[in-house]
């Protein structure tokens, strides 16, 4: 009897190990994210709060492996970028108005080759003298032209209820800055919009753009951790980054 019990126990351990290995093997690999952050040189935004809150939202979802870099010079290295599936851009730094031609080529090639780019809030104002960055973003914040009214609770509408990023998401209210006057005429697919008291127009706030074989998403929400960690925004951020990286949303 004792030998039988020992044998059964050993069989159970082996089965458990095999099943456990199969489960681990079947688990989808995490999406590799390079989050590029940086000082926006002014009191308007706590840039480390923004980058850390965005990182936390992504990591908490369990779907991402996120590395944060506070230096845009990482774009100089194609080899470094090749390790990632998507670049998340939260950086606007007025003291870094441009980057080298090699860095520009690497960033554009990263997305054109089939990977993803996600830009959030004021980060679309980066590299003011580089027009193609605005094309990559779909729309661009331009200092002195774009703007917003006082931060307040405002209603946002889901403009496309069938896109994987917004499917099942209802219209919502959020305490944030309502960006308006973003510049550009590249074709975009608007997912979330709102009526701006500042511009007196309906403005796009979350939208996508095909770029070569890759995908770009701009999220104009996200003034600080309160907006970024809003329950609806958590869903939209994680889905947007996943879609930018893979072209689909798993959850």
191 domain residue, yes or no: no
38 domain residue, yes or no: yes
For CA atoms 41, 45, 46, 48, give the dihedral sign.
Answer: negative
pLDDT of residue 97: 73
Q: Could you state, in chain order, the average pLDDT of each consecutive group of 10 residues for the chain (251 residues)?
A: 43 41 64 90 79 97 96 94 97 80 97 98 93 97 96 98 97 98 97 98 98 98 96 98 96 56
209 domain residue, yes or no: yes
2 domain residue, yes or no: no
pLDDT of residue 250: 87
Q: Is the separation of the CB atoms in 116 and 214 below 8 Å?
A: yes
Q: Is the pTM of this model over 0.95?
A: no
Which residues, other chains included, contact 149 with Cβ-Cβ below 8 Å and sequence gap of 6+? 178, 196, 197, 198
| Number of structural domains in the chain | 1
171 domain residue, yes or no: no
pLDDT of residue 98: 81
60 domain residue, yes or no: yes
pLDDT of residue 22: 43
46 domain residue, yes or no: yes
21 domain residue, yes or no: no
CATH number of the domain residue 110 falls in: 3.40.50.880
Strand-pair category, 201-211 with 214-219 = antiparallel
Q: Nearest to residue 66, comparing CAs of 76, 51, 77?
A: 51
pLDDT of residue 92: 82
- Output the six-digit token pair for 130: 């580089």
CA separation for the pair 38, 93 (Å, rounded) = 6
Q: Residue 21: phi, psi to the nearest 5?
A: -65, -40
H-helix or E-strand containing 137? Answer: helix 131-137
Length of the chain, please?
Answer: 251
CA separation for the pair 205, 166 (Å, rounded) = 13
Distances (CA, A) of 148 to 5, 23, 74, 138, 251: 72, 49, 32, 19, 32
Domain range holding 90? 30-142+204-246
Q: Is the separation of the CB atoms in 142 and 241 below 8 Å?
A: no
CA 39, 63, 231 angle in degrees (round to 5)?
Answer: 70
């Amino acid at each position: 009897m004792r030998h039988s019990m020992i044998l059964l126990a050993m069989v159970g351990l082996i089965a458990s190990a095999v099943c456990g290995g199969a489960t681990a093997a079947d688990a989808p690999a995490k999406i590799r994210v390079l989050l590029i952050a940086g000082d926006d040189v002014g009191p308007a935004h706590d840039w480390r709060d923004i980058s850390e809150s965005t990182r936390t939202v992504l990591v908490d979802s369990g779907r991402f492996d996120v590395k944060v870099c506070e230096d845009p010079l990482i774009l100089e290295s194609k080899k470094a970028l090749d390790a990632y599936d998507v670049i998340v851009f939260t950086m606007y730094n007025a003291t870094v108005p441009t980057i080298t031609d090699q860095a520009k080529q690497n960033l554009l090639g990263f997305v054109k080759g089939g990977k993803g780019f996600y830009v959030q809030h004021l980060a679309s104002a980066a590299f003011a003298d580089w027009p193609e960055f605005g094309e990559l973003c779909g729309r661009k914040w331009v200092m002195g032209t774009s703007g917003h009214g006082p931060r307040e609770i405002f209603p946002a509408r889901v403009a496309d209820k069938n896109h994987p990023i917004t499917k099942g998401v209802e219209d919502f209210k959020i305490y944030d800055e309502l960006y308006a006057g973003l510049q550009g005429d590249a074709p975009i697919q608007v997912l979330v919009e709102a009526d701006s008291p500042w511009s007196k127009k309906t403005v796009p706030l979350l939208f996508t753009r095909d770029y070569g074989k890759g995908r770009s998403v701009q999220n104009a929400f996200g003034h600080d951790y309160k907006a970024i960690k809003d329950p609806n925004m958590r869903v939209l951020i994680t889905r947007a980054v996943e879609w930018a990286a893979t072209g689909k949303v798993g959850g």
